[in-house]
Amino acid sequence: MNYARRNGVEDALGSSVNFFHLDCLSSEVRLNVDLDTVLTVLANGCYRWLGKQLHGFDQSKPKALYRKFVETSGAVEIEEGGRIVVYFDRRAHNPVLREARLDDGQPKIPWLANRRLELVYT
């Protein structure tokens, strides 16, 4: 009964999140399955948030967002003042990222010792 219920949950999540690999949820330890599922749902939510921030990409699938915006090259520098600067290499979608102003206000990041983040598009 529990196995059938778990498969039903996996199938429902798999149909809405085809970019993530939920078919590897075969662990016998229930905690691992629950953690994998929660992380998958959180990742899907993060991609939906990113898509809503980017003009014209609010209906994009996570796989497309990953390919166009996340899987990109660049450099990260940590400056003496505690600021973290991310330099993006030149790409066709950089203007969309720049327009979204994801680093607007340069908030401090608590889990990085309250350092500030700045995005630079070359």
* 52 shares its domain with 13: yes
Query: Tens digits of per-residue pLDDT, 3-37?
Result: 777 777 666 666 555 555 545 555 554 545 677 77
* 111 shares its domain with 62: no
Query: Tens digits of per-residue pLDDT, 51-98?
Result: 999 999 999 988 899 999 989 899 999 888 778 899 999 999 999 999
What is the distance between the alpha carbons of residues 112 and 6, in angstroms, rounded to a whole number? Answer: 37
Specify the pLDDT at position 121: 87
* 61 shares its domain with 11: yes
Specify the pLDDT at position 58: 92
In sequence order, what DSSP letters do the residues of 63-107 get, joined into one string?
HHHIIIIIS--EEEEE-TTSEEEEEEPP-TTHHHHHHHTTTTT--
Query: What does DSSP say about strands 108-109 and 74-78: parallel, antiparallel, or unpaired?
Result: unpaired
Structure confidence at residue 116 as a pLDDT band (50, 70, 90): confident
* 56 shares its domain with 77: no
Residues 6+ apart with CB under 8 A from 73: 89
The neighbouring-strand residues paired with 109 are: 115
- The domain total for the chain is 2
Specify the pLDDT at position 13: 63
What is the distance between the alpha carbons of residues 75 and 89, in angstroms, rounded to a whole number? Answer: 8
* 87 shares its domain with 46: no
* 86 shares its domain with 103: yes
Specify the pLDDT at position 32: 54
Tokens of 53: 């921030």
* 57 shares its domain with 76: no
Specify the pLDDT at position 52: 95
* 7 shares its domain with 59: yes
Boundaries of domain holding 51: 2-67
